[in-house]
Each structure stands twice: as C-alpha cells, then as structure tokens.
Amino acid sequence: MNLSSSNPYYLALMNDIPINNSIVVCAGMSNTDLFISDGQYESFCLYDSSNLENNIPFGSGFNLNPMVSNSGCFHLYRWNSDDTTAVVFIRSRADQAKNCQDFKNVFQVGTQGTATSGTNGTCEMIFLATNYKEMSTILISDISTADTNLTIYGRETLTLRSPVNNKNIHDIQLQDAYLWKNFGIFYTFALSILVPSDATISVTTKTQNEPYTIQKKGCDIIQKGLVASPAYTGSNFNLTDIIYESEIDREHIVELNVLKMSDNDTVFLEYYDNDGNETVKVLENGFSFNFTANVETGFKLIINESFNDFLIQYTLTSNISPIYKTIYLSENMPYYLNVLENINVNDAIVICAANLDDFELFVTSGNHQDFWLHDSTNLENCIK
C-alpha cells in the first residue's frame, strides 16, 4: 500500500489481520510513521523494508514520537493466532499531519491530546484504543478550547469522525465545545477529530466498559452528548439487550434527538415522572422529545436490537431556578465576606469587580461540597 494525500494512512485492529498475512505500507523515507497502541501483539513481526528483511523491535508501549521508517516502508507479518488487542496506525506524516503545527497529533485513548491547526486547513487528531475488546467504547470526557480565541473563531466547528469507515459523526461549534462532556459511546477502535484552522483543542478520552452510563454530575448546568451504534462508526458486530443508564445528581430536563435510526434498529426510551409513572417510547428516525428525569430513577436507553445505524444526540439541563443577588465591589465596599452556611439553598451570589488585576477569592478549609463556583455572572464556566 502506497500512501498519498488521498490515502494518508493505514489503520487496523491487529487481530483482524489473518495469520500468515503481510501488510506492507510505504510513504517514503523519513515520512513513514508507525504507531501501535498498548496491548498484545506478540503474534506479529515488524520489518523496516518492503520485504521480510531488516527485522526491528516494536518498542515498549505507545509513544507520541512514532517509529520512523528508514527504508520508506513498514512490513507487518502475522505468524500465529495468539489474541492481539493492539491497534496499528501507519501514516504519511507529510499528508496526515500537514495542517498541524506539531506532528505529535496521534494519541492513545485514556489520555489528553492537544493539537493546534495552521492557517491552511484542519488538523486531524487521531485517538487509538488500547487493549481493545469488542464491547469497549471510546468516551470523550472533556473538550477544552481555552487556547482558542472564541470571539473570532467561536462559530467554527470541530468534526468528530470515524477513521474506520471514513464517516463524519457530528459537528460541534467551538463556542459550545465546553458543553460536550462524558459522551460518545462509540463502539470503535479509533476516533478522529478535525480541528478547524487557527484553533487549539485539548480532548480528554477514556475507555468505557460495561455498564454503559450517561453521566452528568457536578456544577455544569448544561451537558450535551451522543450515543452511536457500532455500525455507525464501522464496527461489524451487533447490539442485543444493551441498556444505557443515566447517572444524574439532580432533576434534569432531557432533550433527545434521533439524528439517524435505521428500520432494523429497535431502541426504547424509558423514564419515570415525579409521580412514579413509567413512560416507554420507541425511538424512530427524526424523533425529538423533551422530558424531566428525576435523580432517583433517571432514564434509560434500551437497545433491544441494533444491526445497522443509529445516532442519538442528547442535552441534559439542570432543572433549577436560582435566586440571584449581585454585589459590585468598589473603593467604598472593597470585599464580600460571609459564612457559607448562611447562604440559603438555591441562592446565587454574584460578586463583580471593575479591576480584574487584583480580583481575588479566598475560601477557608472546611466543608463546601454543597456549593458550586462559576467564573461568570451566570451559571456558566464552572470551576472545579
């Protein structure tokens, strides 16, 4: 396989490569990079050549600095049937990382990856699964745009994409990226994120195994996310009797939007209202629905059968209406002082100062787990 601008990389779950088969990938000297995620791959031999010559070791564990071919080609050969749980990614650096300011744009799931795009196009971040199992999923914990000027680039979009089947999953506006947390139940061994021009994005990922949960806790008021079927991201196994349960710490308004649902998929929504009455709805393509989920029972997405494609977007919004009190500090009132215990439940105290250079917050040691802190005049920009 000769890599090019139209075919910039080779990606595979190593266990899918048959016994006694060779894969030869070439992109030129000092331009052919190889990454292998953590896992088992003892059933393979690696050669820095286009044939079975110049055998080289794989190295120990995943590294942001890739192995670079001196010959211009890597040759993978599988010699036995031992289980293999690693993912291999071989690229043409000049093509795959051409719009990235740093060629270290390939990461392992379970880490935070940061990439900055240049002015000429998108930079593609790649996340590779580790110790992959069939029912493992890739979950995005957090997306940070702290180093991007959102005033200029906020309406630009980053694109979630499956490099397994070259399918776009979803576009997210940079100004809303902070809302997307603990989401992406993607049954796949690799995930691609396209960073728009002149933007810097940091993405934290992790692997989720059973049970599958939609989580929202802490002081974030709004949280968005996605759930996708295995087929949607290119995996070739089906789901049967899988339940996604929500984990929420207060009452929430839930908005569900079915972006794609094939006729061969059967997915149910189940939730209970505040009076304990059960509601079950069958999800169909184009279905949109709002409901209230309480902290005791939350809600469930029940996958009865999935043989094809489904993609579901959800938005969780805390169902609260705070009572605001705003205080403006000045020369005549240089500080705000209070005992946290004296602040009433559901009160929101907003403290503002004109001079940001010396605007400071001090909190003494003690129990403050019942309070949220936001760096804003409303319930946005939660500070952990």
CA nearest 302: which of 277, 272, 274, 265?
265
Name the band, by pLDDT with cuts 50, 70 and 90, for residue 68. very high
pLDDT at 14 > cutoff 80:
yes
- Tell me the average pLDDT across 282-292: 93
Region of poorest pLDDT, from 17-26, 107-116, 254-263, 366-375: 366-375
Name the band, by pLDDT with cuts 50, 70 and 90, for residue 384. low
- Tell me the average pLDDT across 69-85: 93
Q: Kindly state the tokens that stand for 44.
A: 């393979």
CB neighbours of residue 115 within 10 Å: 26
Query: H/E element holding 55?
Result: strand 55-56
27-36 pLDDT, tens per residue? 999 999 999 9
- Tell me the average pLDDT across 135-141: 90
- Tell me the average pLDDT across 68-91: 94
φ/ψ of residue 256, rounded to 5: -110, 135
| pTM for this prediction | 0.89
CA distances from 116 to 6, 65, 126, 265, 317 (A): 22, 17, 13, 38, 31
186-218 pLDDT, tens per residue? 899 999 999 999 999 999 999 987 667 888 877
Q: What is the DSSP string of 234-291?
A: T----EEEEEEEEEESS-EEEEEEEEEE-TT-EEEEEEE-TT--EEEEE--TT-EEEE
